[in-house]
A and B are shown apart, each in its own frame.
Chain A
Amino acid sequence: MSTHRADVVVVGAGHAGVQLAVALATSAGPRGVLLLGAESGLPYERPPLTKKLLVGSDQPVPVPLRSAAYWDRSPVTLRTGTRVVSVDPDARTVGTDAGETIGYRDLVWATGGRAARCGLPGEDLRGVHSIRDLADLTALRRQLAGGAAARAVVVGGGYVGLEVAAGLRQLGLAVTLVEVAPRLLARVTGTVVSAAFTALHRRRGVDVRLGTAVTRLRADGDRVAGVVLADGTELAADVVVVGVGMRPEVDALLAAGARGDTGGVDVDEQCRTSLPGVLAVGDCARQANPWSATGAAMRVESVHNAGLHAAAAARALTGRLPAGPVPPRFWSTQYGVELRTVGLSAGDDEQVLRGDPATGSFSVAYLRGGRLAALDTVDRPRDFARGQALVAAAWQPTRAELIDPDTDLPRLQPAGTSVT
């Protein structure tokens, strides 16, 4: 028997869940929208956790997505500190960690994921961190606030690892970054950008070790004291941050029979899962991606994608047709250098460099079959702005149109900037 019932139950109060709940606030039906967040505070902006908030106050204060006053007056019921642990798709109910059963007409799974771990001996030691939510960042900053931590090892050279390495350098720590792949950002960019960011971090004093595996963490009592590499080298460490990606939090949905696996729950273009009345949005949802080289299903981890999914799910739940696809975009900032990407570069067959990486301002265009598939821009906001429409249109440039950094990329309308 349900103790509570809503027309739409949204599980997860990150960017995707909040945007969806807000979009349906007045149109969900007479029982309204119930938004359930596992964390205790107001829903907040996640990107600053590894950027501004990492180098800010000892006691990080997040930027709320909406104020407390907003939630007080919103028709959406926000309930924080509530984790959903089970789904019954036949009864159309979810169960919470407090033992409550909540009924739904439509369920939207927007849980994101947990930080992935390497599975190394010693990964549970004190002083070993990952950053996925505010509690993680608060724990890291609390350790650093004592001033005793001087040497940091960052495991993983993706966006999070690099942003954390940059932040820890700015906080004055000695930083070694260990990446198992032969280059940084290997999953998301090409060799030119990888090399530029390796050089940037080395210039800023980070000891970047590429093609290097970690075998275990060494303890001093219950605290981490070092990181042992595959070649036997030990790096002394007071603090270790593991940034090796995320694991989507989809166990309860999979247990309920939704199609998918530990790599995500499968959804269609309207973000519907294989279970009737159950949708999934954001980082945890795996969807055929028309911008990838193969069109294969993939998860896209970004605030932008969270917004696109929220909009798609809101359209589906209000009986509107899907909007057209929009190319994914990504943003990272390290030492104030802005890396902005549109499209998916993997599977490219030609790369064209615009400008000179040595100047700190350049772009790389990735072509597939002569069409623009993706554009990485480093401190070139105009290329990024114009690149969105060009990738959306699968622009077929001549080499001359791309290569001269002093000639602007052409401007196409519409821009594909709208996510509503």
Chain B
Amino acid sequence: MTFTVEETGRELVLDASGHATLMQVAVEADVPGIVGECGGEMTCGTCHVHVESTPAGYTAARSHDEEDMLEVVDAPAPGSRLACQLPVTPAVAGLRLRVPAPS
């Protein structure tokens, strides 16, 4: 169960097995730029990612709280998400995320 993260020119293929959210996967993999400081409470914005492509069958709607937080992150994009709100499901395979470059 892997997905892909692009980060400053590198491409990381991460195994999501055993984790609940993609934030946790990224923190465990030391992906630069992903801190997950608030532990998934949507108060910090430190797991901001751009979703580059979503596989069929992978759905995770944005909540109002997440949208509020995404309005104020650095480098917002149409595919902006908080990785703590992206669950690990069998459909995660094929998901591509990008960590926005620090401003």
Complex alpha-carbon distance, A22 and B27, angstroms: 10
A331's nearest neighbour on chain B, judged by CB, is B43
Asked if B28 is at the interface of the complex by the 8 Å CB criterion, the answer is yes
Asked if B38 is at the interface of the complex by the 8 Å CB criterion, the answer is yes
Stretch at the interface among A31-39, A379-387, A396-404: A379-387
Give the shortest distance, in Å, between B99 (CB) and chain A (any CB). 11
Which residues of A in the span 103-131 have a Cβ within 8 Å of any Cβ on B? none
Are A303's CB and B46's CB within 8 A? Answer: no
Asked if B78 is at the interface of the complex by the 8 Å CB criterion, the answer is no
B34's nearest neighbour on chain A, judged by CB, is A420
Contacts of A340 in B (CB 8 A): 43
Which of B37, B43, B65, B72 touches A307 (beta carbons < 8 Å)? B37
Assuming the contacts A303-B37, A304-B37, A420-B102, asked whether A386 and B72 have C-beta atoms less than 8 A apart, the reply is: yes
Which residues of A in the span 59-81 have a Cβ within 8 Å of any Cβ on B? 63, 66-67, 69-70
Looking at A329, A384, A415, which has the most chain B CB atoms within 10 Å of its CB?
A415
Give the shortest distance, in Å, between A323 (CB) and chain B (any CB). 10
Which residues of B in the span 13-61 have a Cβ within 8 Å of any Cβ on A? 18, 27-28, 30, 32-33, 35, 37-39, 41-46, 48
Contacts of A388 in B (CB 8 A): 72
Are B35's CB and A419's CB within 8 A? Answer: yes
Asked if A41 is at the interface of the complex by the 8 Å CB criterion, the answer is no
Are A304's CB and B44's CB within 8 A? Answer: yes
Assuming the contacts A63-B39, A304-B44, A331-B38, asked whether A22 and B72 have C-beta atoms less than 8 A apart, the reply is: no
Contacts of A382 in B (CB 8 A): 68, 71
Are B38's CB and A417's CB within 8 A? Answer: no
Complex alpha-carbon distance, A331 and B42, angstroms: 11
Contacts of B42 in A (CB 8 A): 381
Number of A-B contacts (CB under 8 A): 74
Which residues of B in the span 83-101 have a Cβ within 8 Å of any Cβ on A? none
Assuming the contacts A47-B39, A304-B37, A381-B42, asked whether A415 and B68 have C-beta atoms less than 8 A apart, the reply is: no
Are B103's CB and A414's CB within 8 A? Answer: yes
B32's nearest neighbour on chain A, judged by CB, is A420
Assuming the contacts A70-B28, A331-B41, A413-B74, asked whether A381 and B69 have C-beta atoms less than 8 A apart, the reply is: yes
Are B30's CB and A25's CB within 8 A? Answer: yes
Contacts of B72 in A (CB 8 A): 385-386, 388-389, 411, 413, 415, 417
Complex alpha-carbon distance, A408 and B46, angstroms: 23
Assuming the contacts A66-B27, A70-B28, asked whether A381 and B46 have C-beta atoms less than 8 A apart, the reply is: no
Residues of B bordering A, CB below 8 Å: 18, 27-28, 30, 32-33, 35, 37-39, 41-46, 48, 64-65, 68-69, 71-74, 102-103
Residues of A bordering B, CB below 8 Å: 19, 22, 25, 45, 47-48, 63, 66-67, 69-70, 303-304, 307, 329, 331, 340, 381-382, 384-386, 388-389, 411, 413-415, 417-420
